[in-house]
Every structure is written in C-alpha cells, then in structure tokens.
A and B are shown apart, each in its own frame.
Chain A
Amino acid sequence: MRRQPQFTFRLFVAGDAPNSVQAVAHLAAFCRDHLADRHEIEIVDVFREPKRALAEGIFMTPTLVALTPPPVRRIVGTLSQTQTVLLTLGLLDSAA
C-alpha cells in the first residue's frame, strides 16, 4: 500500500527571523503529523544564498515550495494555518 506520493519541500527562510523560525517549526510538525516518512525538506536561507532566492523568484519569506508531487505549489507565511496547507497540498480528504 506504499502508493502514496513522496513530498519534496523547499523552505526559504530569512535567517532567524521570527516568521521563518516559526515556519520551520510548523513545517516539521506538519510533516510529522500528516506525512510521516514520506517527505523531504530542504531549508534555504536567503541571507546566505540570495542568488537562489532571486533565481526562484522568492520575495516573501518564509515561502514553502512543494516541488513534488506536481504541480509545484508555493505557500507563503508561517504555515500556522494547517487547514490551508492541507488544502493546498491536496491532503485534506485523505487526512480527514
């Protein structure tokens, strides 16, 4: 029954700005709750890698980019609104 897709996330954060710190925590909690051992998270600090932010058009931090499964989705903010995140990732039905 391992047919559920693998999720790949890239989270852009701005150093240790409060929003970003929250987003990291929220994402970790979210994955633990909903995507246990079927996710991958890359955290990009735009202060260290501004060129990447520029290249990917990340202007608001924190921004979560869900690379897989397609399509690519972007969620801006602290990810505090779990329902919105679930809805965006198409996980609402299976989670319910």
Chain B
Amino acid sequence: MEPNQPAQVAKESSKAPTGIAGFDEITRGGLPRARTTLLVGGPGSGKTIMALQFLAHGARDCKEPGIFVAFEESSRRIEANAESFGWGLADLLRKKELFFLDAQPKSDLVQAGDFDLGGMLAALEAQAQAMRARRIVFDALDVVLALLPDPAAKRREIYRLHEWLLARELTGIITAKAGGDENSVVIQQPFGFMQFMVDCAVILDHSVALGVSYRNLRVQKYRGSGFDENESPFLIGNGGLVVDVARTRVHVHPKVSNERVPSGVERLDTMLGGGYYRGASILVTGYSGTAKTTLSGAFAGAACQRGEHTLFVSFDSDCNEVIRNLASVGIGLDRYVKSGCLRMISARSIAGSAESYLVRIKTEAEEHGARCLVIDPVSTWYKSSNDTTAQSVADRLIDWSKGEGITLVCTSLLDEMSNRTESGSPLQISTLADTWIHLSYLVQAGERNRGLSIVKSRGTAHSNQVRELILSDAGVTLADTYTAGGEVLMGTLRWEKERAERVASEAAEAAAKLKRVKLDAEEAELKVRMKSLETELVAKQVEKALLVRSTQSHEGELSRGRTQMKELRGDDETIAGGKASQP
C-alpha cells in the first residue's frame, strides 16, 4: 500500500463534514479527509458522542460508511446511549453502513509480555474492505495503550495505527482522555507527541464553575486549513453536539432596517420617535419591581397583535405566572400562546450555563420562526456564569439576533444593594444595545413611583424627559412628571401639584369673570348716564332754541307795537322827537 498522497486527496473535497452544527463552521468544512484527528478531553467531555455523531452523519448523509472501535464501553451501551439523539443507529447498523467493534480488553485477560495491535488492524482491514468504510473512530485508545508496558511500545502502537489509517485513506478520529488541565496532562502522556503527529487536534473541555457546567471546544491544530482558533462553547443537546460559533466583530450584519416596531406603549413610541428599529436590541434596566417584565410584556403583546411570532424567555418565573401577572396590567398574552403566535419558555437560571441557554434560545427561536424575542432578565446569566462568559454570551446573543433581524428586548436587573449605578449594567451589554431604557424608582413623600427614561437610542431622536410609568389594569401608560423648582414630582405629589394648579386656575378664572361682570356693569351704567345726558342735552338745546325764538318774536312784537302806537298816537309824538313812549 502506498502511503497517503496529499496531492491526490486534495483534489476531492478535502474535508469530511461532521454534521455537528457549528463545528463545520469552525473548521471550515469538517475534519481533514483521509487524515487522522485527535480528540482529547476529560471524562464526560463528549468525545464519544462527537465521534459517533461524525460517523452517523457520514453513514447517513455522506454515503461514507464507518466503523466504531470501542475500547472502553461496550458497543451495545454506546448504541443505547446514542439512541436518544435520533441518529437512527439501529437502521445504519442493519444496513451495514455502520459497524461497531467491541475491543474492550477482557477483564480476565492476562498479559504476559509485549504485544501489538496488529490483530485488530488486520480484523479492521477485512471489515473496512467488506463495507467500504470511509470513516473510522477509535474510541478511548488510552485504555488499550495503558496495557502496554513501556512508553516506547505505546509510541510504536500509535505510529502503527496512524500509518495504517493513512495507508487506508480513512478519515479517522482517535479519542483519548486527558485530565482536567489539558495542556499539562496531555503532554505527559503518549498523546503529547500524538498531537504533533496528527493533522488535526480538537480539545474538549468540561469544567464546572460555581456549580454550573461548561463545555468548551477548541481546535488546537489543523494542518493545511484555516480554522477558528478560539474556544467555542458547545453543549450536548437533543440531537447531539451543538457548537456555538462566536461571531467576530468584523461580521457584517446583513439586515439593517429602517422599519420601526412599536414598543407596546404608545407614549414610549413617541419618545423614541416612532418605536424601536426592527432588528435592534433593546436593553431595559432597572431594580427589581420597576416593571421591566411589564414593559417587555407589552412589547411581546404588541408584536403578537401584529401577528409576528414571538419568543418570550423568562428566567426567574414560571410562564403561567408571567401571563397572569401581565394580565393584571391589561396585557393579555394568553390568547397568543393559545394561537401559537407566542412561545414562552421558563428556565430556571441555575439549571445550566449561559451557553446552553443561548443555544437553546437560538434553537427555539429558529423553530418558532420568531421575529421578536424577549429575554427576561438577561442578568441571570451573570448569576449563573462568570463575568466574561456571560458577557461573551450576551455579545453573541446580540450579534445573532441582529444577523437574523430579530428585534430583541432584554431586561437586566440592577442590584439595588450593589453600587452599580446607571452607568454600568452588570452585563456590559449597554454598550452593545441599540436602545437603553432605564427604569427607576423615585421615593418621595412616602411613596414609590416608577420613572422611565431613555438613556440612549441609536439612530433615533429620543426624548430626554423622565416620564412616570403608570401601571393600571387598562395597561401601561406614561405620564409627564411635574417639574417645578428643579424638583421632579411623581405620583400623589404630582397629582396634588396638578390639582393645586387646577384649583388656582379655576379661582383665577372666576376672579376674571367677576371683574368682567363688574366692568360690564360699569359700562352699562356709563352708557345709561350717557343716554340721560344726551336726553338732557337735547332738552337744553330745545329750550335754548325756544328761548331764541321767543326773544325774537318778542322784539318783533315790540317794534311792531311801537310803530302801531306811533301811528295811533299821531304825528305829534313823532314830531316831538321820536321818543319811545314808556309802557
């Protein structure tokens, strides 16, 4: 047999897809075809499942039959364990597209001297030819190597296996256990040099921090191919491994929309100049009880009303509780759940790592075809993870929702006791979120009132005013706060102040009315007086005219009378000097 010829292999597709969501992305296509991949990880890190998934995918979807060599567990047990993943192993086994080889060292096996794996390889060779196998997995090779007496023998057998794989041009996976700290432990074992020998090495890591399990996967090397070098979280889901690919910052979001999505609160839309952007991520922060859930519920309700499929993830309370609580403020989600428009998931935060939730949310959202997504509260991740993990998960959540064009509303609880202020929400997602709404309390005059303000909203004009958030059984409304003398008043104080204003204005109005009436009266009086004066004037004028006329007639009369008298008295009077006679 000729050893492997790379040039020849490269002609056909040089990678064998694993069918593991995310992993093929990291490795840009899968494992190196006709080469050997080393899969290292601690106990329970998912090596066997990953290897088996690779085989199942090959046999079922790639027409590449495979052989599974089980050194540790019996094949029947592995088969039974994998049954729940729904890969149809039984079917593949029946069709002879998959073959399990039980190679566990027997418990009664006695060892007397050195041995090698030639027998197994001979047997496998016969089997591989019979079923035209293209893929092969050696699961837990360390078990059999442990029987070999010295490191030289171990090394010799690893070489034998490796060369055999290359010569047969089988795409192989060798899994091996490693202790907790992969870097130190692996090097001590014969796998140390194996990592140099193989073409691809993948490290699986399973750790527990603060009682929460984390699974991470990292491609350590991959000859002749680029790959994502970062550690990627993965989890073992219902269908096998799911690797969560971290999108890098350079990733361009293809869907940038100018479309506005109503927030479910009318006044808030006005404050935001029309609502949220479609595909934007909205962060609602606030202390507990500041109506974060209500605000996000209003958004979900509005989305469902428009007929958009919505996913509501509630971390700390049960779905039915959320529905009941929201119904009390006039947000009826019940009917949307029934109609299938709204899907609600309740997930107690301590039950899993942030990664596992992210993957679950993604799967659920994709299944549901969600256009709007509510996560209440996202700060739970902070509780169940360490800062950096939760942070990176939140980053990926936002990246992903943007990429999918899903409008995301997440709430974040601020701890009242801690000194985290508005400037820093626990998860530093405030920098990534497009719109940040902050809810707060204002304690005044023995009452606690809710205030809403928009801290930021990218790309939209938004009001700088603090509004009072009022919850009633009719729904969520916003009211202007009363600002006076540099003081912001809410609740009863605002109401009182408003009432006082109302009373004052009423009084002023009444006073003005009175004044008007008074003036009217004065005006009327003056008018009356004017009228009587006018009448008097006319009377005077008449009197005056009368006087003039009577004077004239009197004089006329006089002169006429004198003439007559003169005439009567005769000429002598006239002669006597024309003296007027005295009457």
Contacts and interface: CB of A to CB of B under 8 A. Distances in A.
B120 A80 contact: no
Contacts of A78: 112-115
Interface stretch (B121-129, B212-220, B350-358): B121-129
A14 B120 CA distance: 9
Contact of B119 (A59, A79, A80, A88): A59
B568 interface: no
Interface string B201-216: 0000000000000000
B120 A60 contact: yes
B547 interface: no
Interface stretch (B100-108, B392-400, B466-474): B100-108
B417 interface: no
A59 B112 contact: no
Interface string B89-118: 000000000000111011011111111111
A85 interface: yes
User: What band does the interface of chain B fall in when counting residues whose beta carbon is under 8 Å from A?
Assistant: 20 to 34
Interface in B359-388: none
Contacts of A84: 110-112
Nearest to A26: B113
A74 B123 contact: no
Nearest to A80: B113
A59 B106 CA distance: 11
Contacts of B115: 19, 60-63, 76-78
Interface residues of A, number: 34
Interface in A1-57: 12, 14-15, 17, 19-20, 22-23, 26, 46-47, 50-51, 53-54, 57
A81 B114 CA distance: 10
A63 B123 CA distance: 14
Interface string B32-66: 00000000000000000000000000000000000
Contact of A77 (B101, B106, B113, B126): B113
Contact of B112 (A17, A61, A75): A75
B111 A57 contact: no
B123 A22 contact: no
Question: Could you tell me the dominant secondary structure of chain B's interface residues?
Answer: mixed
A77 B112 contact: yes
Given A51-B126, A58-B123, A76 B118 contact: no
B160 to A, nearest CB: 10
Contacts of A50: 122-123, 125-127
Nearest to B130: A51
Contacts of B147: 60, 76
A44 B106 CA distance: 20
Contacts of A77: 111-115
B118 A74 contact: no
A53 B119 contact: yes
A20 B144 CA distance: 18
A63 B125 CA distance: 18
Interface in B387-446: none
Given A54-B126, A73-B108, A74-B106, A12 B119 contact: yes
A54 B121 CA distance: 10
Contact of A88 (B101, B105, B112): B112
A81 B110 CA distance: 11
Contacts of A73: 108, 110
Contacts of A26: 113
A57 B101 CA distance: 9
- Most-contacted residue by chain B among A51, A53, A80 (CB, 10 A): A53
A34 to B, nearest CB: 14
B113 A81 contact: yes
B170 to A, nearest CB: 16
Contacts of B119: 12, 14, 46, 53, 58-63
Nearest to B106: A74
Contact of B111 (A12, A58, A75): A75
A73 B126 CA distance: 26
Given A59-B119, A59-B120, A63-B115, A76 B127 contact: no
A14 B110 contact: no
A19 B149 CA distance: 13
Contact of B118 (A22, A61, A85): A61
Contacts of A54: 101, 123, 126-127
A26 B103 CA distance: 25
B123 A76 contact: no
Contact of B123 (A46, A62, A75, A80): A46
Contacts of A23: 113
Given A17-B116, A19-B116, A46 B111 contact: no
Interface of B: 101-103, 105-106, 108-120, 122-123, 125-127, 144, 147
Interface of A: 12, 14-15, 17, 19-20, 22-23, 26, 46-47, 50-51, 53-54, 57-63, 73-81, 84-85, 88
**Minimum-distance CB pairs A-B, first 9:** A14-B118, A77-B113, A78-B113, A50-B126, A59-B120, A61-B119, A80-B113, A46-B122, A54-B123
20 contacts: A14-B122, A19-B115, A23-B113, A46-B118, A53-B122, A57-B106, A59-B120, A60-B115, A60-B116, A62-B119, A75-B109, A76-B110, A76-B112, A76-B147, A77-B115, A78-B113, A80-B112, A80-B114, A81-B112, A84-B112
